[in-house]
Chains A and B, each alone.
Chain A
Amino acid sequence: MIALVDYGAGNLTSVRKALAAIAADVYVPATPADLSHASGVIVPGVGHFSATRALDAAWRDAIIARLGEGRPLLGICVGMQWLFEGSAEAPDCPGLGLLAGSCFRLTGGTYRQPHDRADATGVLKVPHVGWNALRMTRDAAIVDGVASGSQVYFTHSYAAPVTGDTVAAAEHAEPFASIVQRGQVSGVQFHPEKSGEVGLRILRNFIEIAR
């Protein structure tokens, strides 16, 4: 059974529907102690990094204890950012610190449009919303069967740095980590539950890892 941690950040409906579509057994733990029988743990998230404050010491300890017992952990969007040391979005709110580095605000920028129409300068806005390509930097079980260049759906303003833990990067005026993995810890900046077949494949890969 996969534990889907509900800490009140946004709604879990979409993630639950996607997990149901790939026939994953999922439960929402009511207390940290309920993680003790999780075959894998998913920390979703949308919105502001400070929402992760609801994941207090008891939740952190239970998640880390389950990892220590060899069970995998997947962070989605803000849930992935939380795996790092922290985020500029909420500097007084520490992350779990399993991955080195801190999340930063995307700066956006401009690009040259293919046409010399009314305005040849295109704008790369922040938030970064929409479908963007994964650029694979190394192999990992979480991306089994996913081709470099596959597009996935993002919606965020803050991002994690590209480090040795990065499996796939993405570009939005600057590179950032879009998939990370270190040991049994994985994270995706985009929304696999909203990224069509590619997203479902990544969720399936996690379910396999948690078997």
Chain B
Amino acid sequence: MLSKRIIACLDVRNGQVVKGINFEGLRSAGDPAELARRYNRELIDELVILDVTATLESRRALADTIRAVAQELFIPLAVGGGIRTEADAAAAIEAGADKVSLNTAAIASPPLITTLASRYGSQAVIVAIDAKRSGDHYAVYVRSGSTAAERDAVDWAREAEARGAGEILLTSIDRDGTKAGFECEMTAAVSRAVSIPVIASGGAGGLDHFVDVFTAGAADAALAASIFHYAETSVHALKAHLRAHGIPVRL
């Protein structure tokens, strides 16, 4: 049975891990390679390194961070934040990323999805969708949640799949940083609309939130950052909880 994946996100800025509340007010939480090692010991299934500032200066540090992590960890590693061109993606993959995550760039230039899928395979291309509830649908936002993209999240996920995306990373802007639980309705709506895996993100605050998102939310994977960073919950304890609730995990 395919395991539900637990993915840890390392939000980095200039080579240091940070984590914001609703994308604002970042506070520092440590060295990425050290955190990655800890997660690996706890049997994390995958890592995402997200460059939250994506300035030119930060991007140079990012390549070093990717290299440091990929050097010693042999689990899937995705990189996102500021990947705008084929060259940006190539640099991340060259440094050791297995997957790149496109967000604003995919909306701005959807053919980039296909270009990267043709060059590296669909398994290497994640389309990240940041969305918030808007009446009876979910509206996509870009530029770190600041700008409405005038797209519906379910439609955009379908289009991304058709263009060659291998996975969708779906973040609820409403829930991000709140610890109020994942946005299960939105996750289920997107997950049932596509055949590629959907990674749920935003709102993880307790063990039962993960149970919810893997059942009611129909998520294939769940991503969290701060709940693990500050050792509020170990990855191992989370997986044991999921297993006790009948959810297949790698333990």
A-side residues, CB < 8 A to B, are: 9-11, 13-14, 17-18, 21, 46-48, 108, 111, 113-115, 117-119, 122-133, 151, 153, 155, 171-172, 193-197, 199-200
The answer to whether B74 and A125 touch across the interface, beta carbons within 8 angstroms, is no
**Would you give the shortest CB distance from B222 to chain A, in whole angstroms?**
12
Nearest CB to that of B76 among chain A residues?
A194
Q: Does B63 interact with chain A (Cβ within 8 Å)? A: no
Is B247 at the interface (CB under 8 A from chain A)? yes
CB–CB A194/B246 < 8 A: no
Tell me which of A17, A123, A127 contacts B70 (CB under 8 A): A17
Q: Which residues of B contact A14 (CB under 8 A)?
A: 70, 96, 98
Chain B contact residues, CB within 8 Å of chain A = 1-5, 40, 45, 70-72, 74-76, 93-96, 98, 120-124, 166-167, 184, 188, 191-192, 195-197, 211-212, 215-216, 218, 220-221, 245-247, 250
In the assembled complex, the CB of B242 is this many whole angstroms from the nearest CB of chain A, namely: 10
Minimum CB distance partner of A193 in chain B: B74
Q: Which residues of B lie under 8 Å from residue A196 when comparing CB positions?
A: 40, 74-75
B244 to chain A, nearest CB (A): 10
| Bound: A114/B212 CA distance, A | 12
Contact flag A131-B5 (CB < 8 Å), given A47-B122, A118-B216, A122-B218: yes
Partner of B3, one of A151, A194, A197, A199: A151
Query: Which residue on A lies nearest to B121, using beta carbons?
Result: A47
Cβ A46 vs Cβ B124 within 8 A: yes
**Whole-angstrom distance from the CB of A21 to the nearest CB of chain B?**
7
With A115-B246, A123-B218 already in contact, the answer to whether A21 and B72 are too (CB < 8 A) is yes
Q: Which chain A residues lie closer than 8 Å to B220 at the CB level?
A: 125, 129-130
Given A13-B93, A151-B3, A200-B74, A119–B218 Cβ distance below 8 Å? yes
| Contact status A124-B2, CB under 8 Å | yes
A11/B93 in contact, CB under 8 A: yes
Q: How far is the CB of A200 from chain B (nearest CB, A)?
A: 6
List, in ascending order, chain B residues with CB within 8 A of A197's CB: 74
* Residue from B40, B74, B124, B221 having most chain A Cβ neighbours under 10 A: B74
Residues of B with C-beta under 8 A to A114: 215, 245-247
A151 to chain B, nearest CB (A): 4
Q: CA A67 – CA B172 in complex, angstroms?
A: 53
Whether A194 touches B98, Cβ cut-off 8 Å, given contacts A119-B216, A126-B195, A131-B45, is: yes
Chain A residues whose C-beta falls within 8 Å of the C-beta of B75 in the assembled complex: 153, 194-196
Residue of A nearest to B245 (CB): A114
Known: A13-B93, A155-B123. A113 touches B215 (CB 8 A): yes
Could you tell me if A118 and B195 are in contact, using CB atoms closer than 8 angstroms?
A: no
Q: Which of B40, B75, B121, B211 has the most CB of A within 10 A?
A: B121
Q: What's the minimum C-beta distance from B97 to chain A, rounded to whole angstroms?
A: 8
A119-B188, A194-B74 are contacts. A127–B123 as well, Cβ < 8 Å? yes
Kindly state the separation between the CA atoms of A117 and B211 in the bound complex, as whole angstroms.
10
Q: A10-B120, A129-B123, A153-B76 are in contact. List 10 more A-B contacts (CB 8 A).
A: A13-B93, A13-B96, A48-B121, A115-B246, A122-B215, A124-B2, A130-B197, A131-B3, A195-B75, A196-B40
Closest Cβ of chain A to B157, distance in Å, is 13
Residues B215 and A125 in contact, CB atoms below 8 Å apart: no
Instruction: List chain A residues, Cβ under 8 A from B215.
Output: 113-115, 117-119, 122
In the complex, the answer to whether A17 meets B2 with C-beta atoms within 8 Å is no
Q: Could you say which of A113, A131, A195 contacts B2, with CB atoms under 8 Å apart?
A: A131
